[in-house]
Structure formats: C-alpha cells, structure tokens
Amino acid sequence: MKRTILLLFAALFGVLTAAAQDLIVKTDATKIEAKVIEITTEAVRYKRFSNPDGPTYVLPVKDIHYIQYANGEKEYYTKTIPATPLTPATPVQPAPAETPAAEPAPQAPSGRYVLKQYEIGELYDQNGVRGVICQLSDDGMHGLVVSLDEIYLHWSEFRKPDLRVVGADSRTDGEENMAKVAQYIAANNLSWADFPAFEWCRNKGEGWYLPAIDEMLTIGHNYNGGTRVQNNRQARNKFNDALKDAGGKRMDRLVYYFTSTEMDEKNAYTTHMGIEPPYVIEIPKYNKFLVRAVHKF
C-alpha cells in the first residue's frame, strides 16, 4: 500500500513538472522544452527546461510556429495565407504607327510596377551602398546589407575605474544605439575614438551602423540558410562567395562579433555565425572582437 502511494505521488509529481514547462514548436516541426523568459517582436529568449540555470537562447520569431505555455495556452506566430487567384493579363493594344510609343517599364498584371526582389547572400550595390544582403522584409524588397570587410576593435576604451553605461540598450535596432552613443559623446565631451567599433562603422558613411544583438542573430540565422538546427554548408558558401567575389572577406564562424547592444557598464552582447549554442555571450567592452557594419535599404 505504501509503495502504491509513493508511485502515485511520483506520477503526480511528473505530471506537475511537465505542466510547468513551455513548449516551443518551430516551423520545421522541431520541439523545444523550455522556460520562456522574454518575447519581443523579433525574437524569443528562453532557457532549456532541462537546464534552467544554463545559458539563455535566442530564437527568431519567424522560426516559431507556436508556443504552448505551461497553462496550456497556445500562441501562434505563423499564419496560413490563402493563395490569390491569378488574373489573365490583358493584351496590350499596339500604338498607332504614326506615334511610336515609348517602351513601358515592366508591370505586374495588376498594373503596379514590378520592383526587384532580392535574395539573402546577393550583392547589393545601389546609391553608394555596397554589401551583401543579410536580412530581408517579407516582400524581398527591403532589408539589411552587411559590410564586405570586418575588423577587430574595442567596443569602447574605458576600463576600471572608468567603466560606464552609455545607454545603448536596444536589442533590435543598432541605429538607435548609434544615436544614443552620439548623444553620450556630445553630453560628456568625448570623441568617437573612445568607441572604436562605432567609429569604424560611422566612418563608412551615412546610414552605416553597428548592428544590435537581435539584428546580428538574424544575420547568423540567415548566414546558415535560415536555420541552425542543421549544418548548411551550401548556404554559408553562397554567402561567403558573394563577399569574396565582391572583394570582401568571408564571415568567421568561430569568433564572436560585437553588437551595439550594451549589457552593463562592463559588458556588451556578442554572437557568432556558427550552429552550436550558446549564441549570445557577454564580453568586456575593452576587449577586441570582430566588427561588421550594416546598412538598411
């Protein structure tokens, strides 16, 4: 009888333990038993349920099908969009012989102008901005390009006892962090040379900036073909070949890249391009790590 009670208690404890976990289901059907810590418009941060004191992982929202929380509630992140029926194009009437018509710009059947759609890993060279496309909007017409070159630099030059918080705390927008660094420099009579990683990006010209942590995580995600669940050498080679063919340098999978996102007075967030976690670690700002600049288009 006593043994039966113990078995029932163990089974009940197991049920309660399972119920206390969140379940992340990815778009590729992969399931992750987790404890969700934070959700933003761009990413979900979580710890593995089996290792609650371990590293914090970051997963782009676009890779998530749904999250089932410990209370049973489900939150979906992907939507099924019905296909739009195709409408046959109307034949264009020829212009009168005596009035030759100018060649029209390409148009879609709906009458809208057809704009170029880009691909990840494609060289972008427009309006003085030259780099490889590393992030795209859903319509494939806008996104981010990453610089062709990279360099080892300090995030900032301040050491003990002069460590300081600058306020560059955006996880999603490095441009916002860049503006906060500029404000901090002006308010404290400093120079851009006190922030070498930011200065290097700024010197590339208007619009170039040091990416935030979520932007850099997305770059790493796309660099690996849209997933870090499996090794995709072909996707990485395409990306690296585009960099090399344009006279740039291949991305480094084994070294962490600085981001503009500040953790505290001592550390800033970094990430790498590999497939093995942890994807985010904190590095002292006065250490030298790789830097790449990005530009929106």
How high is the pLDDT of residue 63? 82
Average pLDDT for the chain: 84
pLDDT of residue 191: 98
Q: N- to C-terminal Cα distance for the chain?
A: 71
- Residue pLDDT, tens place only, 12-70: 444 444 447 889 988 777 789 888 888 887 888 888 888 887 778 888 888 888 888 88
* pLDDT at residue 85, as a whole number: 43
Answer whether residue 156 shows pLDDT above 60.
Answer: yes
Amino acid (one-letter) located at 248:
G
**What is the DSSP secondary structure assignment for residue 63, as one 8-state letter?**
G
Angle at 128 between CA 125 and CA 129, to 5 degrees: 55
Sign of CA dihedral 32, 37, 39, 40: negative
